[in-house]
Structure 1
Amino acid sequence: MMLLAGGAGLMLGLLANPARKLAVQAPTMLKGEWDEALAAEHKATLAVFDLLEKTSSDDTARRSFHLMQIKHMIGKHAFQEENVVYAAMRQRGLLEQAQHLNEDHGVVKQLLFDLTMMPKDDARWLETARTLRGNLETHMAEEENDTFPKLRAALSEQENAELAKAMNKEGLKLA
């Protein structure tokens, strides 16, 4: 009986991770179009920034929690963009734009590291978080208003669908 219960527990544990991954990636997958999905992820990330910016210096646990959420969201998002979208941009001759956006990701990762290492009650912490948000908003606007429409137009309907599928597969890896 004990062995059966242990086996059932193991099976539930093995099934829980794929279910969790699908739940995390589902909002992106349900958008259908790759560019709309990425824009939705942008919006969701900014919503967590809204919560983070409402914290005070004595609310270090909440700052840490929201920073962890943002790091996970941005990490998964960047993985999708860098491994699929920016690669497709390079294939279509959008080399400089892909390189520029990739460099933006490096700046974002540095600011995330700085926030992680800085004491959450440091007077500069919220200012650094706002700098990060400003950089992200500029990056997001560039993607949504310029780069993504150029890539979408350069691809056929089938290629856009394949790009969305490939992007979601990458997202599931880190979800």
Structure 2
Amino acid sequence: MRAFNAVSSRFHAARPRHTTRLRSARARGRSASPPASDRPTIVGEKNERPPARSSQGDRFMSSDAIVLLKDDHKRIKKLFRDFQAAGENATKTKGDLVTKIIEALTVHTYLENEVMYPEVRTLLPDLEEDVLESYEEHHVADVLCTELFAMQPSDERFDAKTTVLIENVTHHIDEEENDWFPKVRAGLSRKTLQDIGAQMADMRDKAPRSPAQPSALKKTVDAIIR
């Protein structure tokens, strides 16, 4: 019996400390796990953290020009829906939404006019007519944005002008996504679209946010004389 007690004492003394902590935690009704550093690595065990990817790979995965432009389209159409759902007397809400719509469209059309359209026009000459039509549609949107920028939400024609802007831009977006983007993707390699997208991403921070900024005014004038 003494020999058994001596062996038992040595066994308990040699047990790892975290095992004692685990038993104490269970006694208090909490679940506990040993520290990650103490756990053995099990072959095939799922790692909770995703594997790291190179910064270059991340950039290329997220810089496809068409994907970036479609993301813009989603945000813009969401603002359109919010405006349409705001209600007849929601003057302040509509004014705030139109401010956001103008900013989003000013940035978006700037990136397309300065990067996407010139690149596609050069690389895919067969799509030149489509590009020229897109310039004209942007010009209409730019003019409407400039006029709305100078108006008050309480002005009689504010809602009507915003509705016309929404209709024109929605038509433009649908045409691009259903007709033009598929042609561009078929004609350009993934690498080329990634390079164009990277250019747009680099220019986004410098893009004008208001029709009154010089670069936005230049864009509107360029659309007339191209």
TM-score (ref. length: structure 2): 0.59
Shift of 1:30: 7.3
- The question of 1:130 aligning with 2:158 is answered no
- SS of 2:205's equivalent? helix
C-alpha distance in structure 2 between counterparts of 1:164 and 1:32, whole Å: 5
Task: Give the drift of 1:166.
Answer: 1.1
Matched, 1:84 2:115: yes
2:81 to 39, 42, 50: 50
* Residue of 163, 166, 170 corresponding to 2:199: 166
Partner of 1:16: none
Gapped regions of structure 2 (runs ≥ 5): 1-59, 210-226
- 4+ runs deviating over 6 angstroms: none
Are the equivalent residues in 1 in contact too, given 2:137–2:172 (CA < 8 A)? yes
SS in 2 for 1:173: coil
Q: Does 1:149 align with 2:149?
A: no
Q: 1:34 to 1:150 in 2, by over 3 A?
A: same
Q: Distance in 2 between matches of 1:166 and 1:80?
A: 9
1:82/1:102 contact within 8 Å kept = yes
- 1:152 and 1:161 mapped to 2: Cα distance? 11
1:61 to 92, 115, 119: 92
More helix, by proportion: 1
In structure 2, give the amino acid aligned to 1:173: K
Q: CA separation of 1:131/1:31 partners in 2, compared to 1, >3 Å: closer, same or farther?
A: farther
In the alignment, structure 1 residue 37 sits paired with structure 2 residue 68: yes
* Aligned amino acid, residue 59 of structure 1: A
Aligned equivalents of 1:97 and 1:125: distance in 2?
Answer: 31
Identity between Structure 1 and Structure 2 (%): 26
CA distance in 2, matches of 1:158, 1:171: 20
Q: Which residue of 2 aligns with 1:17?
A: none
Q: What TM-score do you get using the length of structure 1 for normalisation?
A: 0.75
Count of matched residue positions in the alignment of Structure 1 and Structure 2: 147
Could you say which residue in structure 1 is the equivalent of 2:57? none
5+ residue gaps, structure 1: 1-28
